[in-house]
Amino acid sequence: MSSISLRLPEHLHEAVREIAKRENVSINQFITLALAEKISALTTEAYLEGRAARGSRAAFDVVLSKVPDTEPDEPTDRI
């Protein structure tokens, strides 16, 4: 495991201190989880952008044309 020195503005330090206390976790654990969530979000965004770039409207239309044109079952498939 690595360690880093992190400088935070006082208002952020106070906020993370309060939230970590409320969540019954250490500040270190809270920051680690927050960082992991942010990395996950950015990684997911990049993955989806890559998938979208490989997408094709024509291929989508081909797949969509295979779906039967029927009304949804009642009541679970209706809002």
Res 79 pLDDT > 90? no
Residue pointed to by tokens 């809002």? 79
Domain membership flag for residue 74: no
Domain membership flag for residue 1: no
Domain membership flag for residue 77: no
Higher pLDDT, 27 or 76: 27
Domain membership flag for residue 78: no
Domain containing residue 52: 10-64
What is the Cα–Cα distance from 60 to 58, expressed in whole angstroms?
Answer: 5
Listed residue (75, 74, 79, 4) closest to 35, CA to CA:
4
Domain membership flag for residue 5: no
Tokens of 11: 């208002």
**Number of domains the chain contains:** 1
Domain membership flag for residue 72: no
pLDDT digits (tens, 9 = 90+) for 22-37: 999 999 999 999 999 9
Q: What is the pTM of this model?
A: 0.66
